[in-house]
Structure formats: structure tokens, C-alpha cells
């Protein structure tokens, strides 16, 4: 495929391979799938390996990225940047930023806090090494504290000095994590609110994100966290887990001041989740000066015509890959290229540029292009 720098529409029947194609792009950007942590799940049934490659053009730089999965070999995953094997997966990071919206992302609004914390952690970890390190140290100390709690529940005496030590690490890391989370929620919340308003076209439908922090504003984070952790020891032994901390925080999502999870309609939930993802894109763009690639899987269903048209306006200027079952879903889109995705009886995927009518690539062409090792 030679995609358009603007909107690329991938249309085809259910099960034809549209999500598969987005997943392939995601692999080239982040070295992993967006829907599974198990690389072997994406290798075709019966095949030994999967491989995907992109050539990308960023201002004046051309770059070649390939990812090869060989689940049955010692080295299960290999990444090649400009045909040279990258030592670590992290060598891939930073070359291509990408933001994906898929049906699973509706969980951002519908499900429990952990998914919203992941949204925050993912953004902050990519933008701040200090955050990433603090989060890792916090998690380690939390695991250690929880292990002691579980032992205490079985009757082993709680070692107060050890508890002090773990709680000190947790409190110190809270002091790094909380201010960054606070700023990030305020920043993304502001942008997401604007995106929601732009897509819905409704002034009176205010979408808001609010940080539900474990430390009240104005309190000294370290002192407050240490005291809370110490005071909750007995209760935590009984529960067998730690009740206070940043691992229990949440982002409250409201529409017109009411909690979205219990109150919002399907289309409103979709618009909110989408706005949160578009906010993420803007945060990355602000940080790097370049818009990430946007992957939108099945985004149009449940959105009314106004929202569809306005969404397309919102994404102009960003290279986007967007899937739908019917090309006419995206008629309002001018700067675009359409591809029909299909799967033949043998299970091979085909991508055909719809306007030109020519076959753009087949599985075989793609594999011929690879020059691993």
C-alpha cells in the first residue's frame, strides 16, 4: 500500500482483515499488538512466522521498519530499523508515534478505574522517564508490602521496620507521580472537553475529566501518604491488600455534571472515549511537534451523521487509517484514499485501492519484500 498522507479508508466485510491491517501498523510503531500481549496469537494459524514492514517518510527522513515474529524460535520477536536488527524493542520507540482507537477503548468510559489509570500511565511513561521509573519503584514496594500483609493474615507477625521501609518508598514515589498525573489529567481533560464539544456540536453537553487523587489537594504528599499507609495497616492485613495509594486512583468522567458510566448513551460514551484518544494525540503532537498516526477501528458505528462529519473535520491534518464495513460511511471525507480489504478462500488477505481498481499488494508481494538476516 502507498497510503495517503491524509485519511485512508479501509473497507470490507466482517472478518476480511481490516483490524488485522491496523494491528500491523501498530506493530511497526510500538512493536506489539493493541489487542493482545501474546505475539503468537497474531501469527497465522499453521504458519511459523509473521512479518510486517513499513517505509516511512518524516519531513526529510526516510526510514524502514520491519517486525518479525517467530514464536517457536529462541528470539521470538525481531525488530529491524533501516534493515539493521535493533538490540531492544525500545529502539523502535520514538520513530513512529501512533494512537489507536478500537472498540476495546469504550472500556475507558464503561469499566473500572484500572483502565483509566493505564491510559494515564501509558501517556506519562512515554513522555517522562522519571514517571516511568517512579511507577516501577512504587509497584515493587507495593508488591512487597502486599506480600507482608498476606503473611500477616496467615498469622506471621507484621515486621514494622520492613513496613516502614516499603511505605517510605511508596510515599516518596507518590510525590513524583501525583503532580505529574494531576497536570496530565488537567491538560488532557481540557483538550478532551474541546474535542467532545467539537464532535458533538453541543454546547450544553460538557464532557469533563477530573483527577481523583488519593492525597487531598494542599496536603503534603509524602507526610500524608506515610500517615495513611501506617494507619491502614491493620485494616490492610484483614483485606490482604493495600487500600491507600496511587494504584487505587481514578479519573472521574462526567457529562453535564453526571457520571458517564451510569448516565450516558452509547453514542455519548463513544464520543467521550474518542475525545480522550484524540486528546492523547494532541498531547503527543505538542510534545514532539509531529502528529502521530491515527488508527480508528470501527469508530463510526453508533455515531450520528453530524458526529461523523465533525470527527472527519477533527482529524484533517493527521495521517489516519479508518475502518468501516461500507465505504459510504465516510462519504463526507475529501482528502482520502480508499482500500477494499478482502480475504480469499485460502485465507490470504488482499488490499485493493478502490479508486484505481488495481491490486496494490498481496501477501506474496509483501513477503518477497522482506530481507531478514
Ligand X SMILES: Nc1ncnc2c1ncn2[C@@H]1O[C@H](COP(=O)(O)OP(=O)(O)OP(=O)(O)O)[C@@H](O)[C@H]1O
Q: Does 102 bind Mg ion (CB under 5 A)?
A: no
Closest to Mg ion by CB, 152 or 322:
322
Least distance (Å) between residue 297 CB and Mg ion: 6
Q: From its phi and psi, is residue 219 left (phi > 0), alpha (psi between -120 and 50) or beta?
A: beta
For 67, the grid coordinates are 517486525
Q: Which residues pair with 259 in a beta bridge?
A: 254
Other Cβ atoms less than 10 A from the Cβ of 309: the count is: 17
Least distance (Å) between residue 60 CB and ligand X: 34
Closest to ligand X by CB, 44 or 210:
44
Closest to ligand X by CB, 255 or 295:
295
Q: Does 88 bind ligand X (CB under 6 A)?
A: no
Q: Specify whether the CB–CB gap between 201 and 266 falls below 8 A.
A: no
Q: Does 44 bind ligand X (CB under 6 A)?
A: yes
| Chosen from Mg ion, ligand X, none, partner binding at 292 (C-beta under 5 to 8 Å by type) | none
Q: How far apart are CA 64 and CA 56, in angstroms?
A: 6
For 42, the grid coordinates are 497474531
Other Cβ atoms less than 10 A from the Cβ of 100: the count is: 23
Ranges within 296-355 binding ligand X (CB under 6 A): 298, 325
Ranges within 93-122 binding ligand X (CB under 6 A): none
Closest to ligand X by CB, 236 or 297:
297
Task: For residue 36, count CB atoms less than 10 angstroms from its CB and return exposed for 0-12, middle for 13-18, buried for 19 or more.
Answer: exposed
Q: How far apart are CA 246 and CA 250, in angstroms?
A: 9
| Chosen from Mg ion, ligand X, none, partner binding at 325 (C-beta under 5 to 8 Å by type) | ligand X
Q: Cell match 501477501: residue? A: 363
| Chosen from Mg ion, ligand X, none, partner binding at 12 (C-beta under 5 to 8 Å by type) | ligand X
Q: Which stretch binds ligand X (CB under 6 A): 11-19, 211-219, 282-290, 313-321?
A: 11-19
Closest to ligand X by CB, 20 or 254:
20
For 334, the grid coordinates are 475529501
For 221, the grid coordinates are 504528599
| Chosen from ligand X, Mg ion, none, partner binding at 8 (C-beta under 5 to 8 Å by type) | none
Q: How far apart are CA 34 and CA 291, in angstroms?
A: 19
Residue 155 main-chain phi, psi, to 5 deg: 110, -5
Least distance (Å) between residue 25 CB and Mg ion: 14
Q: Does 144 bind ligand X (CB under 6 A)?
A: no
Q: Specify whether the CB–CB gap between 355 and 337 falls below 8 A.
A: yes
CA 74 to chain centre: 28
CA 10 to chain centre: 21
Q: With helix as H, strand as E and coil as C, how does 92-127 read?
A: CCCCCCEEEECHHHHHHHHCCHHHHHHHHHHHHHHH
Least distance (Å) between residue 338 CB and ligand X: 15
Q: Which stretch binds ligand X (CB under 6 A): 42-50, 92-100, 107-115, 124-132?
A: 42-50
Binding mask 16-35 toward ligand X (x if CB under 6 A, else -) reads xxxxx---------------
Q: Does 19 bind Mg ion (CB under 5 A)?
A: yes
| Chosen from Mg ion, ligand X, none, partner binding at 45 (C-beta under 5 to 8 Å by type) | ligand X
The site that binds Mg ion (CB under 5 A) totals a number of residues, namely: 1
Least distance (Å) between residue 144 CB and ligand X: 38
Binding site for ligand X (CB under 6 A): 12, 14-20, 41, 43-45, 298, 325
Amino acid at each position: 500500500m502507498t497510503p495517503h498522507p491524509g485519511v485512508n479508508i479501509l473497507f470490507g466485510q466482517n472478518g476480511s482483515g481490516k483490524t488485522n491491517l491496523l494491528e500491523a501498523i501498530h506493530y511497526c510503531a510500538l512493536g506489539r499488538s493493541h489487542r493482545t500481549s501474546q505475539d503468537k496469537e497474531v501469527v497465522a494459524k499453521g504458519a511459523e512466522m509473521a512479518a510486517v514492514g513499513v517505509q516511512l517518510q518524516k519531513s526529510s527522513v526516510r526510514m524502514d521498519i520491519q517486525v518479525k515474529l517467530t514464536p517457536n524460535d529462541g528470539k521470538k520477536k525481531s525488530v529491524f530499523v533501516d534493515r539493521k536488527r535493533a538490540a531492544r524493542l525500545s529502539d523502535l520507540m520514538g520513530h513512529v508515534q501512533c494512537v489507536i482507537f478500537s472498540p476495546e477503548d469504550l472500556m475507558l468510559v464503561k469499566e473500572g478505574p484500572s483502565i483509566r489509570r493505564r491510559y494515564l500511565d501509558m501517556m506519562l511513561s512515554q513522555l517522562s522517564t522519571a514517571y516511568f521509573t517512579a511507577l516501577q519503584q512504587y509497584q515493587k514496594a507495593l508488591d512487597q508490602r502486599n506480600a507482608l500483609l498476606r503473611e500477616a493474615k496467615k498469622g506471621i507477625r507484621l515486621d514494622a521496620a520492613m513496613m516502614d521501609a516499603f511505605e517510605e518508598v511508596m510515599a516518596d514515589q507518590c510525590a513524583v507521580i501525583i503532580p505529574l498525573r494531576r497536570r496530565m489529567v488537567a491538560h488532557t481533560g481540557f483538550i478532551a472537553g474541546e474535542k467532545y464539544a467539537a464532535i458533538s456540536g453541543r454546547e450544553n453537553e460538557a464532557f469533563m475529566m477530573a483527577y481523583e487523587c488519593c492525597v487531598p489537594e494542599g496536603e503534603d504528599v509524602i507526610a500524608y501518604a506515610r500517615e495513611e499507609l501506617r494507619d491502614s495497616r491493620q485494616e490492610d492485613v484483614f483485606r490482604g491488600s493495600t487500600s491507600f495509594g496511587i494504584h487505587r486512583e481514578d479519573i472521574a468522567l462526567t457529562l453535564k455534571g453526571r457520571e458517564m458510566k451510569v448516565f450516558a448513551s452509547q453514542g455519548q460514551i463513544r464520543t467521550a472515549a474518542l475525545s480522550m484518544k484524540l486528546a492523547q494525540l494532541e498531547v503527543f503532537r505538542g510534545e514532539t511537534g509531529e502528529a502521530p498516526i491515527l488508527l480508528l477501528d470501527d469508530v463510526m458505528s453508533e455515531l450520528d451523521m453530524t458526529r461523523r462529519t465533525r470527527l472527519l473535520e477533527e482529524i484533517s491534518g493527521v495521517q489516519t487509517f479508518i475502518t468501516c464495513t461500507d465505504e459510504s460511511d465516510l462519504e463526507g471525507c475529501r482528502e482520502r484514499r480508499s482500500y477494499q480489504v478482502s480475504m480469499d478462500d485460502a485465507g490470504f488477505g488482499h488490499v485493493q485501492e478502490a479508486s484505481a481498481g488495481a491490486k496494490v499488494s498481496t501477501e506474496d508481494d509483501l513477503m518477497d519484500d522482506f530481507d531478514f538476516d
